[in-house]
């Protein structure tokens, strides 16, 4: 079901592009296929860019391995001094646990299974996206047949608004990630971070995982530079860049770029992310917020469910214009 859920989001994202192509005389099947091709080209571009930027990192793999072994030796000496467990005993314990888990062959098998699973899920996601784009009118007619004639206009409104919520959320998220790439790339380059562009791309992509993604990206940047022998000033610079970027993202980018397309209060935002992680892991965390946004749209248009929509939604309160609001006013005429 995870590929189907991602396929639904991507179909909502590309529905406008498909409509524009169809208005120019392109058949629906070809328009849907062109949308898939565009998506594949974008993903291939990201992978190529990451592979190019990470080439320097892999070229220094011998040095990184040497520094990691040095850290491990220091940790073993610390454990030996504090807890009285000799390094030989520690190694024997680790070897025993590794043997119990199947050893290197088991690890390689798990990695291959994971890669195969990702490849299959990606193919299924592309297939579902194509089919949902191609059959979207048929699915819409099916949903309208489930309700009475007098409820069909409202049902059509719910369908259109749900599609727009998912589309605007994803568009705003991708725009914000692109801006984060620029800010992280400039910041990491200024403070002298090695593989600054690669780490900037990684930090931006992890932003798709709410709350924990940005912190994970910063910790990975610190870990990579620590294993490469960077000094304390560089590590401190990473922390400062992370703080500045997060401040800019929270108080400027999110209100200005993403806006309130998914107007959910913080309590249910956290709850739905926790539930998504428990059900589908990282994929569930990515899908949680737009899925709850669609649920809120449905609740807001169904009379018995309106209290639930009100409970999920953000609290409406009067407030003085913030920085993002002031910037927005510069681009709008009175």
pLDDT in tens, 200-249: 888 888 877 766 777 787 788 887 777 766 678 888 888 898 889 888 87
Alpha carbon of 37 to those of 16, 25, 169, 290: distances in Å? 15, 18, 22, 24
Q: What is the pLDDT at residue 46?
A: 79
Strand partners, 27: none
**Is-contact 37 62, C-beta < 8 A?**
no
Alpha carbon of 139 to those of 90, 135, 157, 314, 326: distances in Å? 60, 6, 15, 31, 42
| Residue-level length of the chain | 334
- The residue-averaged pLDDT of 163-182 equals 83
**Burial classification of residue 276, based on how many CB atoms lie within 10 Å of its CB (0-12 exposed, 13-18 middle, 19 or more buried):** buried
Q: CA–CA separation, 49 vs 181, rounded Å?
A: 12
Q: What is the pLDDT at residue 127?
A: 93
Domain extents in the chain: 1-134
Q: What pLDDT band is residue 115 in, cutting at 50, 70 and 90?
A: confident
Q: What is the pLDDT at residue 128?
A: 94
Q: CA–CA separation, 268 vs 150, rounded Å?
A: 33
Q: CA–CA separation, 130 vs 10, rounded Å?
A: 9
Q: What pLDDT band is residue 138 in, cutting at 50, 70 and 90?
A: very high
Q: What is the pLDDT at residue 271?
A: 87
**Position 308 pLDDT exceeds 70:** yes
Q: CA–CA separation, 103 vs 96, rounded Å?
A: 9
Q: Which of 299, 305, 310, 312 is nearest to 268 (CA)?
A: 312
First-to-last alpha carbon distance for the chain, in angstroms, is 47
Percentage of the residues of the chain whose pLDDT score is greater than 70: 76
Instruction: Annotate 8-28 with DSSP letters as a single string.
Output: HHHHHHHHHHHHHHHHTT--H
Q: What is the pLDDT at residue 81?
A: 75
Top-ranked range on mean pLDDT: pick from 83-92, 254-263, 301-310: 301-310
- The residue-averaged pLDDT of 251-262 equals 63
Largest CA distance in the chain: 79
Phi, psi values for residue 264, rounded to 5°: -125, 140
Question: pTM of the entire structure?
Answer: 0.70
**Is-contact 203 180, C-beta < 8 A?**
yes
The tokens 């953000």 sit on which residue? 314
**Position 132 pLDDT exceeds 90:** yes
């Amino acid at each position: 079901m995870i590929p189907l859920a991602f396929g639904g989001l991507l179909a909502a994202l590309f529905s406008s592009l498909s409509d524009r192509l169809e208005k120019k005389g392109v058949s629906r099947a070809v328009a849907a296929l062109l949308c898939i091709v565009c998506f594949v080209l974008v993903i291939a571009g990201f992978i190529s860019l990451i592979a190019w930027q990470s080439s320097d990192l892999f070229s220094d793999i011998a040095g990184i391995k040497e520094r990691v072994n040095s850290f491990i030796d220091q940790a073993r000496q610390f454990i030996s001094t504090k807890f009285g467990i000799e390094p030989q005993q520690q190694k024997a314990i680790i070897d025993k646990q590794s043997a119990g888990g199947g050893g290197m062959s088991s690890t390689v098998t798990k990695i291959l299974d994971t890669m195969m699973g990702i490849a299959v899920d990606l193919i299924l996601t592309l297939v579902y996206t194509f089919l949902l784009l191609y059959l979207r009118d048929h699915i819409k007619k099916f949903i309208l047949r489930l309700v009475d004639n007098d409820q069909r206009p409202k049902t059509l409104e719910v369908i259109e608004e749900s599609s727009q919520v998912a589309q605007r959320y994803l568009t705003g998220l991708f725009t914000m990630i692109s801006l984060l790439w620029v800010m992280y790339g400039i910041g990491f380059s200024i403070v002298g971070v090695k593989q600054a562009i690669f780490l900037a791309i990684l930090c931006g992509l992890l932003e798709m995982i709410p709350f924990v993604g940005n912190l994970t990206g910063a910790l990975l940047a610190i870990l990579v530079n620590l294993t490469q022998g960077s000094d304390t000033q560089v590590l401190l610079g990473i922390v400062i860049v992370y703080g500045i970027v997060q401040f800019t993202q929270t108080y400027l980018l999110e209100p200005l770029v993403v806006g309130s397309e998914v107007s959910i209060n913080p309590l249910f935002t956290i709850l739905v992310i926790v539930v998504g992680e428990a059900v589908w892991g990282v994929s569930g965390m990515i899908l949680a917020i737009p899925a709850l946004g669609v649920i809120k749209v449905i609740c807001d248009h169904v009379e018995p469910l309106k209290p639930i929509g009100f409970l999920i939604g953000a609290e409406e309160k009067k407030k003085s214009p913030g920085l993002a609001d002031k910037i927005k006013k510069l681009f709008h005429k009175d």
